[in-house]
Amino acid sequence: MITESELIDEISAALEVDTNLLSMDTVSTDVDQWDSLGHITILTRLDDKLDNVSERAPELAEAMSVREIWSILNSLDQK
């Protein structure tokens, strides 16, 4: 579906921050730009890349870390 690196790239682009500021351990409070609007932008980018994934995984709206987003996306592959 999406690699860890691709996910970090998408979140980085959505938040308009350098990819070096993000890792799998990054949580929303680590990045000033990851506010409610930033989160919507992340979801929009993921929807564009992954065929409206937020419809299949509404729990993405509440995910507050890169690892949590990754886990949710990865669980979709298992279904």
In terms of Cβ atoms closer than 10 Å to its own Cβ (0-12, 13-18, 19+), residue 34 is buried
pLDDT digits (tens, 9 = 90+) for 5-49: 999 999 999 999 999 999 999 999 999 999 999 999 999 999 999
The strand pairing partners of 27, in sequence order, are 65
pTM of the model: 0.93
Per the CB < 8 A criterion, the answer to whether 23 and 66 are in contact is yes
